[in-house]
Amino acid sequence: MFRSPLLAALAAVLLLLTPCSPALAQSAADFPASAPEERVVDTAGVLSRAASSEVARELESFQAERVDARLVTVNQLDYGLALPELGRQLLARWRDPVGGGQLLFLIDSQTNSAAVVSSDDLTTQLTPALLRSTGRSTMALPIRDGARYRQASLDGISRLLTVLQGGEDPGEPVVASVVTAPSNVPTREETAASNAFTWVVVLLVVGSVVPMLTWWVFSR
């Protein structure tokens, strides 16, 4: 194919320098044209088989509310494509001709982010603010805290299922603040201030005693 070793070497270098990452990026076109049978589409491979089965069972619970719910994970999105936009494209791609509510939980393992999107007929029950809060807080916190993708999925599902069943929104997870216990060990600033005070006292004593001793010695 190549007439000289030099041309072959140049071709090999060009192949090595050609970026391959865009081929790994995902868009809606990389998913099935119709809704898959699986409730969990874990293309990022962040869930174990047991975790995937558990999440799928929880997603099945939405059927009682006439909602078709799925979880989709991705490892890298196409340039300029945001996670919520991917979700909306998948909703349109997987729309059920018969009708019914659609709900998608999405996780991006590269950016450790999450999003939730729903079909328009669920907007009254699942407001845009609730969906944003569920993705950015309820799901994102466990993901960023040790890559707990299973827990993030279950927490997001539980919150929205509670609302759809007529319950009160559990709200965002409470972030515990760490309170530092008081310590008897002085800080560096406290030590420096204490040392400065000691030197002031010493200088005052020396400044008072030395002149008195000098006067006493020479007065004898």
pLDDT digits (tens, 9 = 90+) for 158-180: 999 999 999 999 999 987 654 55
3-state percent breakdown (helix, strand, coil) of the chain, nearest 5: 55, 10, 35
Tokens 């760490």 sit on residue = 178
pLDDT given for residue 105 in this prediction: 99
pLDDT higher than 50, residue 104: yes
- Contact in structure between 119 and 111 (CB atoms under 8 Å): no
CB-based contacts of 192: which residues, under 8 Å, 6+ apart?
none
Nearest CA among 75, 94, 99, 90 for reference residue 24: 75
> What residue type is assigned to position 176 of the chain?
A
Domains of the chain: 22-164 (3.10.310.50)
Q: Which of 151-165, 167-181, 187-201 has the highest mean pLDDT?
A: 151-165
Strands of the chain (E only): list them.
40-42, 67-74, 101-108, 113-118
Separation between Cα atoms, residue 150 and residue 171, nearest integer Å:
19
Phi-psi region of 162 (alpha: psi -120 to 50; beta: other; left: phi over 0): alpha
Q: Report the predicted TM-score, pTM, of the whole model to 2 decimal places.
A: 0.70
Is pLDDT at 74 greater than 80 in this prediction? yes
On average, the pLDDT of the chain sits at 84
Q: How confident is the model at residue 50 (pLDDT cuts 50, 70, 90)?
A: very high
Query: Range with the lowest mean pLDDT among 4-8, 72-76, 153-157, 215-219?
Result: 4-8
Cβ(209)–Cβ(201) under 8 Å?
Answer: no
